Amino acid sequence: MTEGNGHREPANPQEIWEILREVSAVQQETARRMQETDQLLKRQARAANRRMDKLDALFNGQWGKLMESLVEGDLVKLLRQRGIAVQHTVTNPRQNYGERRWEFDIVAINGEEVVVVEVKTTLRVPDVDRFSGRLNEFPELMPEYAERRIYGAVAYLKAYQESEVRAERLGLFVIRATGSSASITNRVGFTPRTFGHRSTAPSL
């Protein structure tokens, strides 16, 4: 209450409690709205991420198919230049093995040899190591080729962290896709490692 001289009387306890309740109510409403806004932003972010994941999967899937087609088109010629007379190729063989599902990008075959090719738009060191490990399982995954010499190859458009160097050290053929063609970039005198039952250790 304001007196005639313009000075305001001190608020009584009841008024103070009313003010505090109003302030508390305003704070709670503000916190509630902020929480609702935060939840809305999170939902929108998750929805946007799902859309981006779908677009990324679609792009990479289509791009991966183009890469596989490019590599497969030159693969027979490239391997024959390295002394492996490929008779035919198989794209994307897949099968369930126990509880696991496996798939290889390209398998090039002749009567005595098999070259298993992993195709990556961007090749990284973990990709190389993981693929090398899978090659040791190839005789169990595709037993019809178990008694043949099994070689591995990685094909890529871009390589990070010197992954192509790592691949060669592990005894893999290294195939780089450039423009409308592909080429094997292993050094002169490179000897590929054999995997599976006839495994030979690479020279690191």
Asked whether residue 1 carries a pLDDT value surpassing 50, the answer given is no
Confidence of residue 58 (pLDDT cuts 50, 70, 90): very low
pLDDT in tens, 84-109: 999 988 888 776 666 667 788 889 99
Q: Which residues share a beta bridge with 152?
A: 116
> How high does pLDDT run on average in the chain?
81
26-43 tens-digit pLDDT: 888 888 888 888 888 888
For the domain with range 68-198, which CATH number is right: 3.20.20.210, 3.40.50.720, 1.10.1200.10, 3.40.1350.10?
Answer: 3.40.1350.10
Local confidence band at 141 (pLDDT 50, 70, 90 cut-offs) = confident
Instruction: Output the pTM of the full model.
Output: 0.65
User: What integer pLDDT is reported at residue 200 of this predicted model?
Assistant: 64
In angstroms, how far is CA 185 from the centroid of its own chain?
23
d(C-alpha 46, C-alpha 196), whole Å: 43
What mean pLDDT is predicted for residues 150-179?
92
